Chains A and B, each alone.
Chain A
Amino acid sequence: MTRTLPWLMVFALSGSQAWAQDTAQGDACGGLRFVNGRVELGRKLEPKGPATEACLRHVAEALTARPAIRSVTVAARLPDAERLDGQGLAVAKAAADVLVSAGVARTRVSAVAPPAVPGEPGQLQLAYVERPAQPRVAQVRAANGDVSAGPSAEALKPRGVGDSLYTGELFQTSKDASAELELADTSRVRVMADSLLRLGAIELGANSKRVVRLELMRGSVETEAAPGGEGSVFEVRTRGAVAGVRGTQFRVSAQEDGGSRLETLEGKVALGADQGEVEVAGGHGSRVMPGAAPEPPRPLLTAPLLNGPRGGSFTTPPKLEWFTVAGAKTYRVELGRTADFAASMHTYEAQGQAFTVPTDLTGKWFWRVLPVDADGFIGFPSKIFAFDLRP
């Protein structure tokens, strides 16, 4: 198990580059990777021998586990002296036979014997052809807590940083988790805790024209839409409303009562429902209840002024303090490991103008406060300060 862990980490970080390794047979190949149509092995594969055969069997297992791979070609790249009279092709065919005997369909395996690179020893190489891969529409840029994705709510599987997401997939964050997705058009979407988001179509065209459609089924997202060309569409749909971006930064929340709430921080966003549509300019928010028209835009609460701490190290959990914002009922305190609050973010609700940091949050943290009004509209975030807790 201790040897498996590093490979799992590599799998998580390498995104689309799928690694396959196990302790029993992984040593035979010294590692195995499927990259751009080439089967990359951890070491050079000798043309013959038991070690080669063991590795080929391991490759065959990995190939049969990947139904998207249509065919595999084995190349025996041997020096000219060893290629004469079909010897090279015979070596390649013998290797192909090992793959076939290990379960790869014979019709999917072919063998070639191209010339070797002068001065290099003979070796076996493998390449494959895959069904045209479905292009990813998003990638997990940061994740904190349990996040999962899958084609349906019943088939959600854990996902990590670097994982790709595809059209139609559901992305879920658990109650204490959050994540940041980078869409194919470089837009950023922060998925807050206890949210469920379906990735709709994301199309990229010429002249920076793009079409992005997201469906928020539960929870809330905060979006930084990348600039799009003429005719671009960026929509976040909830059960009762559609927020179409005409600007850059906004939040959408799908409430439990079926309502939807929109807060526009920058630019302009159209909030549409069956009964009408309002344009919500930057610094304003609106909401729509089921069966009703969107409410007129209301100003968002201003950013709180922080009192401290503005930095420094603490041996005991510091008390974060700020000044009152008129109209705020509660405050949302956010703590993150990075200043963009993408990694390891924690969110707390505070009633007053102070919040004591939990004792388990050691190390360096960035913090900011957002005011929340009586209807749940979240205002502008404060400046970002940091502290270092070293008990």
Chain B
Amino acid sequence: MPPSPESPARGVRLPRPSPAMWRGLAGVVGLALAGVTAVTGGAPGLFERGLYDQAVSRLLPGVPRSADLVLVEVDDRALSALGERWPLSRATWARAFRAMAAQRPAAVAVDVVFDQPGSRDALELGEDVLGALRDSGLADQPAGAALVADLEARLHAQDGDARLAESLAENGTVILGAAALTEDVSLMPPLADGVLGSPLPLPVDSLRLQAREVAGSIAPLRMAAQGSGTLNMLVDADGIIRRYPYVVGVDGHVWPSLALATALRLMPEQFESLLRRATLDDGAPLMRLPAPDWLPRVSLADVLQADPRSVGLDLALRGKTVFVGVTATGLHGQSTLPGQVAVPGVEIHAFALDNLRADRLMRSSGLVALSGLLETAVVLLLFGWRCRRSRTLRAVALTALGFGVLHVGLVGWLAADFGWVLPLMPACVGLGLMLLVDSAARTEELGRQRGALRRLFVRYPQAAPVPPGESR
């Protein structure tokens, strides 16, 4: 049967894509991966987070032990010594801040939001009793007047919110926690604009952490404190915190985190540079991890029970930046850092401050992401060019290995020395795919040449050489 006019003629072959084209496509895959990483916020990309976590937790040098940061922790011992359960009473907090104020710390950053007023049931009962005493005329008699004065003094002491406000004002260096509300339904009552103080003069649109509203401590405490900072973290989909949001955008305004608010309090002369660092990577740069036990700790029990003239307490707190938070079992947030390091949230604020003031922040978006894209393109282009010039598969494999080592070295060097986190996997994937394609093309070419030789020998058979000394 003759072939139909529409069908291709038998024996005619469509042109096959050249190996160079396949290599190019493989390179484009790697480049596309780098592009996706760049537009989705920069490295580490989705498939290289595990590698990044291992590298940053095991290979990069950690934040060294700090001499001027200290953690005052509400630990199991403190709860046991105080005989209280969490949350602590306002009166206890007031005593704690007063005790810390006696040691003259440089700043006190509090990883707690006092968003509700303390209980006033007993106070209102006392006020009713006072009113009854006055109405009955007993207060006009000497004994009644003494009773009224005594009752007033007791009620004054029992007003935990007022005493806490007094201790915060007396301290003069306290930065309270606040919360940026990102959920539709929040447990905390939101505050109106401007209640955390003056917003930062920064553009809000590009920030990674955007919130609907902000919640903070009750007004008397905010008024008595030196400022407030948000306590939010940026948790990746795998539950690991790799970035710290130094600033948060709320309804057109920018508010500082606890770490940034504390840094601005400590170094007001570096306002501009601190803001510039805080806005790296859209306000949430990657962090260097701390070395184990980098932050000296003091139990709140010791702060409250020690003699105010204690030399040990003086050495621990005087002139230091004190972070206050809860670390008792089951009470602190389970914040997991790269390398599966679980630390209390208050420690993250502390080393975020240390990263910020020492400019140890790592960046991966913007110019760095573009650099990563270019570096990936250069590595893949150079490898593609070398592939064409290499005669053997072994040479190609060695070239790929060389470029891979160079790429990993460059990425590691930039991360360790400059804090630039470039994408690692896209170039490696591109190199691997290009090597695979080149290997397949060379194998096919080898097979084709062998087939041609075989056909040549079948068409022109040659007599097998006869070893000398044998007869035909």
Contact = CB atoms under 8 A, between A and B. Distances in A.
A112 B164 CA distance: 10
A353 to B, nearest CB: 49
A132 B162 contact: no
Interface residues of B, number: 34
Contacts of A36: 191-192, 195, 219
B11 to A, nearest CB: 65
B340 to A, nearest CB: 30
Contact of A105 (B127, B165, B168, B192): B127
B159 A115 contact: no
A110 B127 contact: no
B117 A75 contact: no
B159 A75 contact: no
A35 interface: yes
B226 interface: yes
Interface string B264-279: 0000100000000000
Contact of A75 (B155, B161, B169): B169
B166 interface: yes
B225 to A, nearest CB: 7
Interface string B152-184: 100110010111011011101000000000000
Interface residues on A, range: 20 to 34
B218 A37 contact: yes
A75 B222 CA distance: 11
A129 B226 CA distance: 19
Nearest to A133: B189
Nearest to B131: A105
Contacts of A128: 219-220
B123 interface: yes
A112 B185 contact: no
Nearest to A108: B127
B199 to A, nearest CB: 15
A206 interface: yes
B96 interface: no
Contacts of B170: 112
Contacts of A204: 185
Given A37-B220, A129-B117, A129-B219, A205 B152 contact: no
Interface of chain A, main secondary structure: strand
B166 A112 contact: yes
Contacts of A174: none
A113 interface: yes
B165 A110 contact: yes
A71 interface: yes
Contacts of B455: none
Given A107-B127, A114-B168, A127 B192 contact: no
B334 interface: no
A75 B219 CA distance: 11
User: Could you say which of A37, A38, A105, A108 has the most chain B C-beta atoms within 10 Å of its C-beta?
Assistant: A37
User: Could you say which of B117, B127, B219 has the most chain A C-beta atoms within 10 Å of its C-beta?
Assistant: B219
B24 interface: no
Contact of A71 (B126, B162, B224, B225): B162
Nearest to B185: A206
Given A37-B219, A128-B219, A128-B220, A107 B169 contact: no
A107 B168 contact: no
Contacts of B225: 114
B159 A107 contact: yes
Interface string B116-140: 1100100110110010000000000
B223 interface: yes
Contacts of B126: 107
B220 A129 contact: yes
Given A113-B169, A114-B226, A70 B120 contact: yes
A144 interface: no
Nearest to B193: A36
Contacts of B218: 37, 127, 129
Given A75-B223, A112-B166, A129-B161, A107 B185 contact: no
A107 B152 contact: yes
A110 B159 contact: yes
A70 B161 CA distance: 11
Interface in A101-130: 105-108, 110-115, 118, 125, 127-130
B223 A73 contact: yes
B224 A75 contact: yes
Contacts of A113: 169
5 contacts: A36-B192, A70-B124, A107-B155, A110-B163, A127-B220
Interface of B: 116-117, 120, 123-124, 126-127, 130, 152, 155-156, 159, 161-163, 165-166, 168-170, 172, 185, 191-192, 195, 218-220, 222-226, 268
Given A73-B162, A105-B130, A127-B223, 4 more contacts: A73-B224, A107-B126, A110-B220, A129-B117
Going nearest first, the 3 A-B pairs with the smallest beta carbon separation are A37-B219, A110-B162, A112-B169
